Amino acid sequence: MYKNMRLVKGFIMKARVLLPIAVLALMLASPTGLAAWSIAGNVTEHSYIYLSGYIDEMKIYQTDKGIAGQKLVVGTEGSGIVARRQTAYVDNNSMFFNEWGVFQSEGDLRNALCAKNYEVGTVISESYTEIEYLIKDTTIFQNDNASVYSIASEGRGTARLGARVKDGYEGATIMTYGGTYIGDFNIRQEIGTGSEFFLTCP
């Protein structure tokens, strides 16, 4: 009897693991599942969070699957006080994103963002670690013809910024930038490239 109970428990454990995988595979294979890119149309998101405690958050936005279109990943992780507002507009060939926030901690808080525009050939990333305090306002606009990145941040901790501008996805690299800033920092950076600008760099 004990052996039969072990077999039943083993079957239940396998079903708990395999069933979600099977459902996800079916949804991805289905023409009306997650792989159907034309159904959603566009996305508008506004969010605000105030937290005194622990946060572990990541968001991913994209206009196309694979190595195409525009992508953006943003996240915050760690303990501290966070007051953060995000606004995003995403459609099938353009993306606008803004993150404004005030972050405070004893050094156990991280915030990072990376945006890529495969059509124009640009990428920018920013990350903040060992944050004692951080006030940031990042605005990004990307479409098939332009990339505009505006970063304004002030704080104490470690800031890392990087950017690359290419002449299209497979073109020559026009500009590469990387910087690490430790201590008290006040950073203002604007990068724009492409054939048309809807958000003018200050």
Confidence of residue 42 (pLDDT cuts 50, 70, 90): confident
Task: Report the pLDDT value the prediction gives residue 24, as an integer from 0 to 100.
Answer: 36
* In contact, 126 and 159? CB cutoff 8 Å: yes
Confidence of residue 6 (pLDDT cuts 50, 70, 90): low
The predicted-structure confidence for 60-115, as pLDDT tens digits, reads as follows 999 888 888 899 999 999 999 999 999 999 988 889 999 999 999 988 899 999 99
Question: What is residue 7's three-state secondary structure?
Answer: helix
What integer pLDDT is reported at residue 20 of this predicted model?
42
Give 122-145 pLDDT, tens digit per residue.
899 999 999 999 999 999 999 888
Structure tokens at 48: 């605000």
CA distance 83 to 75: 14
The residue type of 87 is T
pTM of the model: 0.75
